[in-house]
Amino acid sequence: MNLMLNLLEAETTAARSSLSPILLMVALFAVMYFVMIRPQKKKQKEEQEMRDAIQIGDEITTIGGICGRVVTVKEDSLVIETGADRNKMKITRWAIQTNNTANDRLQAERAAQAAAKEAEKAEKSKGKRSKKSDKSDDE
């Protein structure tokens, strides 16, 4: 009887030890997905949306560091003009690194929101001060 219990315990231990590395590998892949793969895909999606939203008149910077204004937009390419002498270049969409016009708009929106919050805080603090002065006048 004792021998049978020992054999059962040995089988259970062996089953646990064979599942342990598999579970460890699954956990490792899950962590890698959430730490590396998912953020990279999210970044690629944002970049593609930015490239698809390019309009005529936007200031852009290419991955080669060339800055210019968009003159013509086509399906997979666009034409930009650079410099004071207005040289024109045809580039592909994937070569766009940043949309400076959109970044400037985003910064302006953020600054406006921050100013609105500051004004709101100032109004609240002004309202509290006037309530305190009204209370001291009543006494």
pLDDT tens figures, 92-115: 999 999 998 888 888 888 989 999
Domain membership of residue 86 (yes or no) is yes
Same domain, 30 and 92: no
Same domain, 16 and 62: no
Which of 10, 30, 52 is the C-terminal boundary of a domain?
52
Same domain, 27 and 68: no
To 5 degrees, how large is the angle CA 75–CA 81–CA 87?
125
Same domain, 2 and 63: no
Give residue-wise pLDDT tens across range 1-38: 565 556 556 566 656 677 788 889 999 999 999 899 99
Domain membership of residue 139 (yes or no) is no
Measure CA 4 to chain center.
60
Same domain, 107 and 127: yes
Same domain, 23 and 71: no
- Could you tell me the residue range of the domain that residue 72 belongs to? 55-132
Q: What pTM was estimated for this model as a whole?
A: 0.58
